[in-house]
Chain A
Amino acid sequence: MLDQRGRPGFGAALAAEWSRTTTLRQARLAPLVCALAGAGVAALFLLTAETTTGIPVSLTPALDVVSTSMLGVDAATFVVIVLVASLVAGEQATGLNRIALLAVPRRGRRLAASALVVAVGGLLCGLVAGLSAFGAGQLVSALSDGATVAFTAEGVTRTVLGSVVMVPFYGAVTLACTTVARSLPGGVVGTLGLFVLPTVLGWVPGDSLDGVLRYLPGEAVHAVAGFGAEANTLHPVAALAVLTAWAVALVGVAHLWTRRRSW
């Protein structure tokens, strides 16, 4: 007879989700892939800066080198989006999702545990991507006789750590979108739709949407990282709250959408 350890609650669901995710090779390799993507894309944009912007790295201000390097975090975000969508869609396609629901039959509890695992995993991937992108940017700048800056210099830490926030955020959004769409393309397209929404709305003539734009995820990430004009952006803490609200709302919608779905 098995010993009784108490009824499984959210903690057990969280432990199971973490175990299920981290025992897959794709998930274990994700931080490494994100680090490589972050460093590679950061280096690529800086090495081609003279061609694309007309300003060589050697003449680029140190903080601009850092902000350009953070395009590497965007690359890591795409890696995480595809990884999360493929894992979620794969579970639904093979039927593993049914086993997971038998183990944790309360669908909201299971989805919340998944979202938390994706957020923590995404944060880890974002951190390694952000740090490697920063390091690659500084290396390229140094080799090009450009300015370098310490991680602890004013504005740098916020730019790097603020940019990192987008990885767990879009990971959670991908979880929600893929859960609803039940397919990898559906999850990726839905997430990228939200990703580019501020850009699309920015094409609307006039300033009528300015009040709305800063509450969209893309602008909120910029506010956390300190990109853009201070006057038009939210306070970093408010921007973090906006991102959290978006993530919670989208995962909540996914739960409501699928709570009576057949699996």
Chain B
Amino acid sequence: MTTTTPVIEADSLTRTYGDTTVVDHLDFTVRPGRVTGFLGANGAGKTTTMRMLLGLEEPTSGHARIDGLAYRDLPDPLRTVGALLDPQAPRPGRSARDHLRWLCRAGRIPLSRADDLIDQVGLGEVAARRVGSFSLGMRQRLGIAAMLLGDPSVLVLDEPLNGLDPEGIAWVRALLRDLAAQGRTVFVSSHLMGEMEATADHVLVLRRGRLIADLSAEELSRGSGAARVRVVSPQVDRLAHLVAGHAAVRRGGADAVEVVGLDAPALGALAAREGVELHELTPLRTGLEEAFLALNSEGEITREGIDHA
């Protein structure tokens, strides 16, 4: 791995097809040492952005740079950037080993590296088999081996969790975290919010080609909506009456409610002041998926909260 700290940068990156703007003046930076999730619904413009980043698509205006350079100007692309785009791309009639070896030749990488990585991704026993006989999960592993061939410091993955079984998802997740912990720049697109929640440190959220959030995953969850608290109390009706007007109350069982709009300290203080006995007071965490859905339907999120459009 190189010792510099390359980053991915998009500068007013725009792509239009006729009258349709698919990517609309994106500005962002992806930093090393963390997993950056690139989130958005299908058709939000994630893949187009990644393709522009990798020189496969020409921006209508603006720039996408890696390590300060356009992808096609990188002097040693495979040793700088590893990309995982489409697991179906390798030719079905070629063996896994041969697929990696031609890539090694393109990057002047020792051929022994192909065998090392085939073993690392768990395909050692099927290295000589044709890729056409591989499952989707095996193809994803082969794609990851190809991505890592040049020991690159920047990794770009487009929907790497698609089609993987739970074991495969856990493996990819651990791998991405490990790669980021080694100081690499890891940029991962996904529409699977729940999975990215366990993986990404930072998120960029795209909606209809526009960047609507650029913040840590924790900030996104925290800032995505009103506080939610589960309360269990033998005086639950009285408590509901007290908070009415300040927060919404949803029944969650005989003695339980979910209070939306007041956080746990405020609710606890209110209960103490009014002499309401509490058996449980649990802040409910907003998941990334819920945060994303709220964001996607409501407006632009900032570190202070959702700025409703």
Interface residues of A (CB under 8 A from B): 1-3, 5-8, 12-13, 15-16, 19-20, 23-26, 90-91, 94-96, 98-107, 260, 262-263
Contact = CB atoms under 8 A, between A and B. Distances in A.
Nearest to A91: B91
B216 to A, nearest CB: 29
8 contacts: A1-B1, A2-B109, A12-B107, A15-B105, A100-B106, A102-B71, A105-B55, A263-B56
A20 B1 CA distance: 26
Which 7 A-B pairs give the minimum distances between C-beta atoms?
A16-B106, A95-B89, A103-B106, A23-B98, A19-B102, A105-B72, A15-B105
Nearest to A11: B108
Contacts of B95: 23
Given A5-B108, A23-B102, A95-B86, 14 more contacts: A2-B110, A5-B109, A12-B107, A16-B105, A19-B101, A19-B105, A20-B94, A23-B101, A26-B93, A95-B88, A96-B89, A99-B90, A102-B56, A103-B103
Most buried by B among A6, A16, A90, A105: A105
B75 interface: yes
Q: Interface SS of chain B: helix, strand, loop or mixed?
A: loop
A16 B107 CA distance: 8
Interface string B63-106: 00000000110111111010101101111111100100111011
Contacts of B146: 99
Determine which residue in B72, B101, B102, B146 has the highest number of CB atoms from chain A within 10 A of its CB, and name it. Answer: B102
B87 to A, nearest CB: 9
Nearest to B82: A102
Interface of B: 1, 51, 54-58, 71-72, 74-79, 81, 83, 85-86, 88-95, 98, 101-103, 105-110, 113, 146, 150-151
B56 A2 contact: no
Contacts of B78: 8, 102-103
B116 to A, nearest CB: 10
Nearest to B111: A19
Contacts of B88: 94-95
B84 to A, nearest CB: 10
Contacts of A101: 55-56
A94 B106 CA distance: 19
A98 B89 contact: yes
Contacts of A24: 91, 93-94
